[in-house]
Structure 1
Amino acid sequence: MIDYLMNNNRFRCRPKCRPRCRFAGLLLFTLLASCTTVGPDYKKPDRASPEAWVGQLEGGLTQQQLDPETLSQWWKSLGDPVLSGFVERAIAANLDLRTAEAQLCQARAQRGIIGSTRFPTIDAEGFAIRTGSSENTGAGSTSELYSSSFDAAWELDIFGGRHRALEAAEADFQAAQEARRDVLVSVLAEVAVNYIELRTFQAQYAVAKQNLLVQLDTLEIVQAQFDAGAVLELDLERAVSNAETTRSELPRLNQAITQAKNRLAVLIGQTPGTVDKELDGLRLMSTPSVQIAVGVPAETLRRRPDVRRAERQLAAETARIGVATAVLYPKFTLAGTIGLESLSPSNLIASDSRTWGIGPSVQWNIFDGGRTRQKIAVQNALQEQAMVQYEASILNALEEVENAITAFTQEQLRYRSLVESAAAAERAANIAQTRYEAGASNFLTVLDTQRTLLSTQNRQAASQGAIMSNLVRLYKSLGGGWTPEQPINGKTE
């Protein structure tokens, strides 16, 4: 083909130029062949998702379309400025987030390394050397050599191995982006849940302390009656036991409060104890009376960072099949050098000192005992694993949302019953106390009603905290807490 072009009337080369023309033709043929890309082309799996959630959408939940703005800053809907402040500090200083950001920067740099292999490499070299031969050999002479050169090499990506490698690196970078988002979603939810647990423990501490005061008042009454010989020692000991049992709950709750404070400090990148004063004092939380749009499953799957990360990992493993397959084919490289050589530095830059060389090279692994094909089989297996992980991430996401919906709605029903129960228990305790002081009831009834009141109020406080925690988990399961515009190390995702 090249000879035909050279001999055709439309293309004439001087005899001196024909080797260069043949090389140019070979280069043209090589570049035309470079559009071949081995390995499978990635196509995102089309997996059907349920049309609607199975759980009953009650207690403020609606199937309206997800609101990205509300989801991206869901903690503001809880109406607690202290919590909002801790969330913002966690975004700025959480160590897990900083690690994820560093891993993202690593993936970005790795992508740049892979991308650079598409371009030629150029090296510069220069040296000056003076040599002398042995006089015992009869020569006894000295010589000098001065040289400088530029060397260039370019491996042509004829079969697309490097193209596939760049595809894999790009998918890895995108997976790192999603991993960072996934960490962000988890950290923000953990901050909120720990904050709610802290406020719940503080509420339970207040309940226990209030009940202890009532029980100590009762103990004083029983003690006075015992001193007057109006009641048996059994009633006195029961009153003491009741008060001390309640008192024993205070250290346990204090421990839980301290641990929650310490955990919050670590989550915002601070040492334990540094945020204690900010969190002292009882601060009651109430469930926000807002409509919470949960959308449909397909919307959630498109938003969840863990599902998005798994899909990008599948894309990367698919591209690596092409990388492994390209090893079966020959590698073509264009290399060239241009330089200057002289025995004297004075005429190093003269035209007669010029040296040059240019030409293609080919490398082909003809036989390796089947090692390359086994590597392709390994990569196919890795791609299959990535596919399974992607499918598992979808199922886990659907399960997490369904569980969060059920937990949030059912806990609200439980809380309403506990409110009624606690109110009735308080009335019963007051009645029992009044009747006992009037001598119309025995002390065992007083003890029973006081214990029931403490237990019910304690469960009511825990249930209120559970509603809030379940709401946070619902937002997390929906993929709330991030937006594509959030900067990472000064760069937009």
Structure 2
Amino acid sequence: MMTTKQNTFKRLALPGAAALSLLLSACATTSPIQQTRSTFEAGLPTNWQNAASSNASPDTASLSEWWTRFDDPVLDALIETALEHNTDIRSALSAIRQARAERGLTQSELWPSLGASVGASGSETRNRETDRHTSSENYSAGLDASWEVDLFGQQRKYLEASEAELAASVESYHDVQVSLAAEVANNYLTLRSTESQLAIVRQNLESREKTQQIVEWQEQAGEGDALSTQQSLASVEQARAQIPALEQSVVELRNSLAILTGRSPQTFELLPNTEQGLPDAPAAIAVGIPAETLEQRPDVRASERGIEAASANLSAAERSRLPTLNLSGSIGIEALKAGDLFDPQQIIANVVAGLSAPIWDAGRISRNIEIQKENLTQAYLQYESTVLTALGEVENALSSIDKYSQQLSTLERASQAASEATQLAQLQYESGEADLLTVLDAQRTQLSLDQSRITTQAEALQAHVQLYKVLGGGWSNPTETSTL
């Protein structure tokens, strides 16, 4: 028997050519976006499957600045700086300006073109019989105008496509914002995790060095042997060997954050040198409902704009079969002297109108229409894929938060037990109730569990970051980009 979730996704999936034909045919009566949304939203679930186990709430008011939920001023400053100075952000802004210029170029095709010309000519003749010279001058100025009248709206459809492409470039800019904020947060959390692990290794190394000192004293006093001393020394050096790799990771992560914020590593001073550890996870998760996520995610919105552009281009291609009306005209002035141009003796004007329609073009128009139809089909399929991917990513992120939370709770208990076991083993060894191997084994276990705990804590926080990313959080209101 098919489950509820399977039924939901069956309704969401567009079954090949039949559903696409339905969507394409509906464009004649409704806008492509209205038809597309109604097709998908009819099968959307009302709630997320894994929301109940992840302490999720429907409040999405602060999704645009989700990083403030971690209550970490350094993280806030890093993301704000990156959103302003990152090179990918500036490149996306440049793409918006380019798309706006292209839209203006398409819009200019709706208006007549006007040109001006000024000319001058002169001649001189000589009569050989009378040896007389005569000369004449002629000056002219004129205006030429031409206009292809958009009788059946073909050019207006091209303008609609250009406007949709501009809107898609704005959504791509928002998508860059979303990805960048998440990348900065993940790098920052990894950095804090690495710094915490480095501190744990150094603390564990200090404990092992104290044990080694005791073993050496015992050997010098004749109460121990060289084997125990070497075993203790090996344990010390094993812990010490982890430090250079962790220090290198810290350097690389700091440099990555510098680049993400648009700074050179040499001038990057935004992060304090002190190790402050990982921030706390947000108390509640703002997830909203699936339909709101599709409204919020820039990649889904960009896919919608892609459908709009493809639909408009198809309509424009279909209008290529219809007649076109071309108007052209000119007005000119001729005078015998340059000064007489302002007091013309002769004005010449003409207007020409021509109506033309394609009769035979070797199938070029038909082939172009077929191309545009396939572009529209691909735009619908891209939208479908983006929607399904979005739904799956949110469910995965919610599940990850829940599972990492369970794993972290277990590791915290295990780490606490390992710490107490190490202390007890150390005391028993000093009192002669336990051997050295028990102490060394307890120290290794504690280090391993502490590192696993820190890694899992960072992964749990990164699961929150991933959730906010796949929910579409991290971009500003569309009205704020109107002046970009």
Task: Give the TM-score of the pair, scaled to structure 1.
Answer: 0.86
Change beyond 3 A, Cα 1:437–1:346 = closer
Deviation at 1:455, TM superposition (A): 0.4
2:94 aligned partner: 102
- Paired residues of 2:142 and 2:331 also in contact (CA < 8 A): yes
Matched position secondary structure for 2:32: coil
Alignment of 1:290-301 (within 5 A): 290-301=283-294
- Paired residues of 2:145 and 2:329 also in contact (CA < 8 A): yes
Deviation at 1:277, TM superposition (A): 7.0
Q: How many residues align?
A: 447
- Paired residues of 1:194 and 1:264 also in contact (CA < 8 A): yes
Matched position secondary structure for 1:284: coil
Among 306, 312, 325, the alignment partner of 2:299 is 306
Moved more, 164-173 or 270-279: 270-279
1:52 aligned partner: 47
1:194 aligned partner: 187
- Paired residues of 2:54 and 2:398 also in contact (CA < 8 A): no
2:391 aligned partner: 398
Percent identity among equivalent residues? 35
Matched position secondary structure for 2:266: coil
Among 86, 105, 118, the alignment partner of 1:113 is 105
* 1:420 to 2:420 alignment: no
Moved more, 279-288 or 352-361: 279-288
Moved more, 283-292 or 442-451: 283-292
Change beyond 3 A, Cα 1:486–1:254 = farther
Among 157, 160, 181, the alignment partner of 2:153 is 160
- Paired residues of 1:294 and 1:478 also in contact (CA < 8 A): yes
**Distance in 2 between the 1:72 and 1:135 partners?**
89
Gaps of 5+ in 1: 1-38
- Paired residues of 1:133 and 1:142 also in contact (CA < 8 A): yes
* 1:82 to 2:77 alignment: no
- Paired residues of 2:143 and 2:332 also in contact (CA < 8 A): yes
2:12 aligned partner: none
**Distance in 2 between the 1:405 and 1:486 partners?**
30
Change beyond 3 A, Cα 1:462–1:134 = farther
Change beyond 3 A, Cα 1:120–1:260 = same
Matched position secondary structure for 1:355: strand
Equivalent AA in structure 1 for residue 32 of structure 2: K
Residues 112-158 of structure 1, C-alpha deviations (whole Å, 9 max, x = no match):
1111211111111111123569999xxx9865331111111221111
Among 220, 224, 230, the alignment partner of 2:223 is 230
Task: Give the TM-score of the pair, scaled to structure 2.
Answer: 0.87
Moved more, 209-218 or 233-242: 233-242
**Distance in 1 between the 2:222 and 2:123 partners?**
121
Equivalent AA in structure 1 for residue 235 of structure 2: N
Deviation at 1:492, TM superposition (A): 3.9
**Distance in 1 between the 2:282 and 2:116 partners?**
71
Among 91, 114, 117, the alignment partner of 1:122 is 114
Equivalent AA in structure 1 for residue 63 of structure 2: L
Change beyond 3 A, Cα 1:133–1:252 = farther
2:204 aligned partner: 211
Deviation at 1:351, TM superposition (A): 4.9
Among 241, 246, 267, the alignment partner of 1:274 is 267
Matched position secondary structure for 1:286: coil
Among 82, 85, 88, the alignment partner of 1:93 is 85
Change beyond 3 A, Cα 1:354–1:207 = same
1:265 aligned partner: 258
**Distance in 2 between the 1:400 and 1:59 partners?**
15
Residues 35-56 of structure 1, C-alpha deviations (whole Å, 9 max, x = no match):
xxxx957421121322221214
Residues 90-116 of structure 1, C-alpha deviations (whole Å, 9 max, x = no match):
122111111101101111111111112
1:469 aligned partner: 462
- Paired residues of 1:57 and 1:405 also in contact (CA < 8 A): no
Deviation at 1:276, TM superposition (A): 5.0
Residues 250-272 of structure 1, C-alpha deviations (whole Å, 9 max, x = no match):
11111111111111111111001
Among 473, 476, 481, the alignment partner of 1:483 is 476
Deviation at 1:343, TM superposition (A): 3.9
4+ long deviations beyond 4 Å: 131-136, 140-143
Gaps of 5+ in 2: 1-26
Residues 361-416 of structure 1, C-alpha deviations (whole Å, 9 max, x = no match):
23333322112211111111111111111111111111111111111121111111
Matched position secondary structure for 2:184: helix
Matched position secondary structure for 2:277: coil
Residues 463-483 of structure 1, C-alpha deviations (whole Å, 9 max, x = no match):
111122111111111111123
2:246 aligned partner: 253
**Distance in 2 between the 1:143 and 1:321 partners?**
59
1:438 aligned partner: 431
Matched position secondary structure for 1:295: coil
Equivalent AA in structure 2 for residue 337 of structure 1: S
**Distance in 1 between the 2:125 and 2:307 partners?**
64
Among 274, 290, 310, the alignment partner of 1:317 is 310
**Distance in 2 between the 1:401 and 1:346 partners?**
77
1:450 aligned partner: 443
**Distance in 1 between the 2:99 and 2:340 partners?**
49
Moved more, 375-384 or 448-457: 375-384
Matched position secondary structure for 1:278: coil
Matched position secondary structure for 1:115: helix
Among 354, 357, 362, the alignment partner of 2:350 is 357
**Distance in 1 between the 2:93 and 2:175 partners?**
12
- Paired residues of 1:182 and 1:305 also in contact (CA < 8 A): yes
Among 22, 25, 32, the alignment partner of 1:43 is 32
Equivalent AA in structure 2 for residue 173 of structure 1: L
Change beyond 3 A, Cα 1:104–1:289 = closer
- Paired residues of 1:333 and 1:361 also in contact (CA < 8 A): yes
CA RMSD, 1 decimal: 2.2
Change beyond 3 A, Cα 1:308–1:289 = closer
Equivalent AA in structure 1 for residue 429 of structure 2: Y
**Distance in 1 between the 2:234 and 2:94 partners?**
57
Moved more, 234-243 or 292-301: 234-243
**Distance in 1 between the 2:419 and 2:325 partners?**
87
Deviation at 1:282, TM superposition (A): 1.0
